[in-house]
Amino acid sequence: MVHSITINGTRYEVNLAALPADISLNTFIRENAGLTGTKFMCQEGGCGVCVCTLTGIHPETGEVRTWGVNSCLTMLNTCLGLEVTTTEGLGNKRVGYHAIQERLAKMNGTQCGYCSPGIVMNMYGLLKSKGGRVTMAEVENSFGGNICRCTGYRPILDAMKSFAVDSDIAVPAECADIEDLGTKQCPKTGELCAGTCKKQSPKGSQVYLDGSRWSWPESLSQLFEVLQSAVKEKLPVMLVAGNTAHGVYRRSADIKAFIDVGALADLKGHKLAVDSSSLTLGGNLSLTETMDICRQLEKTRGFEYLSQVWQHLDWIANVPVRNAGTLAGNLAIKHAHPEFPSDVFIVLEALDAQVIVQESVAKQATVSLASYLKTPMEGKIIRGFVLPAYPKDRFLFDSYKIMPRAQNAHAYVNAAFLLELDNASKVKTARICFGGINPEFVHATAIEKLLLGRNPYENELVEKAFGQLSTLLQPDAVMPDASPVYRRKLACGLFYKFLLKTATQRKQGVGSRFALGGSLLQRPVSSGKQNFETFQEHYPVTKATEKHEGLIQCSGEATFANDLPTQPSQLWAAFVHAKKVGAKVTKVDPQPALALPGVVAYLDAKNIPGPNYLGPKTREPMFFAQDEEIFATGEIKFYDQPVGIIVANTNALAQRAAGLVKLSYEGGAKEVLPTLKDVLNKVGASSSDRIEHRYRSTLDTLDLEGEHFDLSSSGQLDLGLQYHYFMEPQTTVAVPFEGGMQVYVATQWMDLSQDIIANILKLKANEVQVKTRRIGGGYGGKATRCNLAAAAAAVAANKLNRPVRLVQSLESIMSTLGKRWAFHCDYDFFVQKSGKIVGIVSRFFEDAGYLSNESHMGHGVAVSKNCYEFSDNYKLDGFLVYTDAPSNTPCRAPGSLEGIAMIENIIEHIAFETGQDPADVRYANILPNHKMAEMMPGFLKSTLYKDRRSEIIAYNKENRWRKRGLGLAIMEYQMGYFGQYPATVAIYHSDGTVVVSHGGIEMGQGMNTKISQVVAHSLGIPMQMVRIEASETINGANAMGTGGSVGSESLCYAVRKACATLNSRLEAVKEELKPSDWQQLINEAYNRKINLIANDHYKQGDMENYAVCGLCLTEVEFDVLTGSYLVSRVDLLEDAGESLNPNVDIGQMEGALMMGLGYWTSEQIVVDKQTGECLTNRTWTYKPPGAKDIPVDLRIKMLPKSPNKVGFMRSKATGEPAICVAIAVAFALQQALQSARDDAGVPKAWVTLNAPMTPEFLVLHAGTEPSQFKLN
């Protein structure tokens, strides 16, 4: 049966029998329709790069509606008859850009560009669903599902909020107006789309070659007919609505009967009882639709609580997931997985909602949620839910969800409470429900009984209730969930918060110090200010121009490695992972995988023609001192180490088949030590085969004789791993070509990829050509780690003589590839009362993983004194620690972040022990005549540091459960050049346009934009005449990897030299003819046979190293009961020289800062201590900051009148330094935490800083106990 789907106005025939039954919309858009603007990364609805919109007729209302979805989760067969819109359908270079695309680009909301199409489409879906009228708060709340690692979100939100009806954000004059929002091009006619394409609804059923069956019932009778038929045939069944459950628990590969319930009007409605005693909601209402209904009815007597219901639903996942996920679907997850912390369940259970379970057209039953969970659901559906009325004058209701970040995360603990009061304000009924405790626990039954007949606000009763509740709550210990101790305290804190809130509302005499404990933190709409200089005499250099590729990134025209069109006879590959550390794989049985139709081969080290070595032919001691295998052949060094690959016809098939390969093992480690702490706890700090003393101090001991010091103390610092979280996965397309190999790699270092591939395939370097147009973020993670995928794809392409595409899954990347080095430091300091340092002893340990090929310890040592003046009494020793984990790798500011954190933490600790203001201690120790001594006083004055610090101290004294903190950090970041970078500049005689090819990699840092500016400035032409071509290993031969923030400067230097050569060749023509314009000059030069192509390069030593100074002041607000916090304000001042492009550099500073905030607050890697498995290897478990985690007030300033005399055109790099001062957020939290500890009566002591300082960390160190819970 042939169906069709409309994408961007074009009708595509869908031959279902020729496609997998569970093919995603994303796969069809990209591989069948060839529209690669829609990306994929996590494939579980957690990153947002795949968002597109669907338009269709609502089955219950008959209205045409548009909504955004995650195309990676949406199954193609649920979209038949709908209209799909991707970013290509909104606008492009040929017909003009859509207003959303234009504003995002021109307001600097794009860097690497991989997330940009998803952001565009999320905004488009929001505007379409709201009739074009949205508020700034609605916009800011709607991007929880769109992760951007590059920008820090501020410019994205500014661009999107500029469409809001209450916006006062300035919009560039050239941007399209809001009236243009509805326009999009129709590919059929080339005209603007009128949206009138006919829609076809699929009918009946479709049987696939593998025996799977899809059905599209249009009535309940048809639904039960196909459902009962499947049950009778004993086929595994899936009722398909949004398929969002796949983002939590992976869908079974055994499903044979898919039943689309999306067209059933009977499951989509809602009905308020005639007497308003109940509200019935259809089971197939999406969460978004449910929220809309709740908003409509929240003023209805008895249903005022719906205001809190919709707000709680807003905490679930993200907008595209809520648009697709349904009430019944959410409860179905809970039914299948009792441990799932369902927010829908906990709210409905507290409200004593009933479930309508239907098993035929004529038979249904209304049961409690508890009964539903015990009901076998085979052959049955959830018809709907019945919610009772609860008049607000007698009932008190509230609900809570505490998460590791503001949005798009499952709960540590969720809770909902309903109390019915009698006329004497005593409890008549109580429902006290918690999720996230253990699979069996829902109701705090003993507390519900305890409250009956009592005034819930009596201090004696409150004390007794929390005494019992602390015992009653027994959270399970399941990694990577938060600890049972935290979850118990959090659950108690939430019920206390409920009592405080309702007692305040009912004027029950809550003490003023306790009152704020009854509310959650309320986040205002964020804003930002940027302050910088430009210099017109150097334009377009120093001009704040838009990014070179911004528009084509937003329209999806900018291509990445995986956007290369499908190659003839192309195959896909996926890694096969070993699971037993320390064992040897004795047998590989790929037959279960090879038995699947479409699986072509299993390949491993035996299929590598050359050495099984992931390194260059000529070893470089900095990176490749130790051998690293591509495919493991001996002892398995870490959990999930690759032993081979499966090659198949599709990506989904390769991924599935790889999991079917059976491995047999011999032996195994007696004890797995996967983390830095594991090794240090096991073997101590002494040197061993696990610990290498890499950096030795010149001092044996401190010589304090004759030195005056008043105080000495010691401490520690613990920093965890951090995943780079580039949005584009590790990707390679390897294409055999004329006896060699063309390889398209998402790499920061083409030369290394070329070298490795040539070496393992026994090819000459000139037989391997690597090409990289751009990459979707790197941060160091694609310098060397990209080559595992590159090498594997090349081996497969070589062996099978067919193109092979390998896109590593997020789980595979996070499990097999290294991260930022974890770090531990033990230190002692000796100081005077003023805080002046007399001596420091520091021993630091870095987690190498199983190899130490990429240590950046030298960077950490170089910055470890920061801006400070030390005597000779500074003893620093560095150790590498080998763990049973993947080899770790550079990550933004490698070594420097840790080195600056080490000394800044010591300074902060000194201030704590001496009782001095941390700013004063810093200033007392700054080197005389250092630039920081000039910058710091003005910065503190402009940020009102002293006044704000005093206000915060007063605020904290007045509030027991809400605290604020102010943290300061300063840095001197050492910027060093390295390597060599070639560039070629060519002028075309026909029109005078210029093309540049270079050996660098554009990854979002604005390299190509700055190069265009420099070329335009050097040749005296408009930037629009300059084009930057893709990087490759011909014109970019022998280039060093792009990293360390110096790639842009180095290549700008190279192209300026090339332009100087061209100018010198053109000089004689200029002098002789004095041409009237550029075109005339170039025509004459061409006629005279003057070479209009110039090549030059940067080499190490051409420019001097320099330092970047910066200061960061961060203010936080902290909820002591939950550990949640707001970053209220951040001020960042950075000495960036004379910026080549302030828009680009401000973006780099903000992005680096936010990556640092994530490092210090939410990004936690959890590893199974028994097996070494990484348990936080997906968006469900690893949480970088989202759009509502950014500072509410973000102020970025470049130091004025501060040219860099040794830098390229007086500029400085900005890509990495700012991450080093993000530690200010940890110091702010420390101050807030100390106030909470003081109130709790905890003995005064420095709290060892930890990265990340999660809500769990904060609550466990706050000293809070339920016995302290009082109302007055």
CB 91 within 8 A of CB 553: no
Q: Which of 571, 435, 548 is nearest to 998 (CA)?
A: 548
**Residue 50, annotated ligand binder?**
yes
**Residue 294, annotated ligand binder?**
no
**Residue 786, annotated ligand binder?**
no
Q: What is the dihedral of CA 1039, 1040, 1044, 1048, to 10 degrees?
A: -10
| Rounded to 5°, angle at Cα 793 from 791 and 798 | 95
Could you tell me the strand order of the sheet in which 1031-1032 lies? 599-604, 642-648, 571-577, 804-807, 731-737, 740-745, 768-772, 1031-1032
Which three-class secondary structure state does DSSP give residue 1151? helix
Q: Which of 1115, 1114, 1123 is nearest to 962 (CA)?
A: 1123
- Residue owning tokens 């960390």: 1257
Which three-class secondary structure state does DSSP give residue 740? strand
Neighbour tally for 1207: CB within 10 Å: 23
Burial letters 157-168, b for 16+ CB under 10 A, else e: bbbbbbbbeebe
CB 1082 within 8 A of CB 987: yes
Instruction: Return the H-helix or E-strand segment holding 1260.
Output: helix 1255-1261
Residue 1079, φ and ψ in degrees, nearest 5: -60, -40
Residue 1011, φ and ψ in degrees, nearest 5: -60, -45
**Residue 1109, annotated ligand binder?**
no
**Residue 115, annotated ligand binder?**
yes
CB 786 within 8 A of CB 816: no
* Alpha-carbon gap, residue 89 to 654, rounded angstroms: 31
Which three-class secondary structure state does DSSP give residue 877? strand
* Alpha-carbon gap, residue 923 to 903, rounded angstroms: 14
DSSP secondary-structure letter at 1137? B
Q: What crossing angle do the helices spanning 918-925 and 896-914 adopt, rounded to 10°?
A: 120
* Alpha-carbon gap, residue 38 to 88, rounded angstroms: 9
**Residue 567, annotated ligand binder?**
no
Give the rounded distance of the alpha carbon of 1066 from its chain centre: 49
- Dihedral sign, Cα of residue 1255, residue 1261, residue 1263, residue 1266: positive
The amino acid at residue 986 is A
Annotated catalytic residue within 349, 1134, 1216, 1256: 1216
Residue 1190, φ and ψ in degrees, nearest 5: -75, 160
Catalytic-residue membership of 1216: yes
* Alpha-carbon gap, residue 1218 to 1132, rounded angstroms: 8
Q: Which of 323, 305, 303 is nearest to 314 (CA)?
A: 323
Half-sphere exposure (Cβ direction) of 430: Cα atoms closer than 13 Å: 21
* Alpha-carbon gap, residue 825 to 422, rounded angstroms: 59
Q: Can you give the C-alpha Rg of the chain in angstroms?
A: 31
CB 760 within 8 A of CB 1201: no
The amino acid at residue 949 is R
* Alpha-carbon gap, residue 664 to 589, rounded angstroms: 8
Sequence-ordered strand ranges (E) for 116-254: 205-207, 213-215, 237-240
CB 685 within 8 A of CB 691: yes
CB 418 within 8 A of CB 394: no
* Alpha-carbon gap, residue 1222 to 1157, rounded angstroms: 6
**Residue 148, annotated ligand binder?**
yes
* Alpha-carbon gap, residue 284 to 449, rounded angstroms: 35
* Alpha-carbon gap, residue 962 to 732, rounded angstroms: 50
**Residue 72, annotated ligand binder?**
yes
Q: Residues forming the annotated binding site for FAD?
A: 401
Q: Which residues are annotated as a binding site?
A: 42, 47, 50, 72, 112, 115, 148, 150, 401, 748, 892, 1044
Report, as residue numbers or ranges, the catalytic residues: 1216
Q: Which residues are annotated as a binding site for Mo-molybdopterin?
A: 748, 892, 1044
Query: Which residues participate in the annotated binding site for [2Fe-2S] cluster?
Result: 42, 47, 50, 72, 112, 115, 148, 150
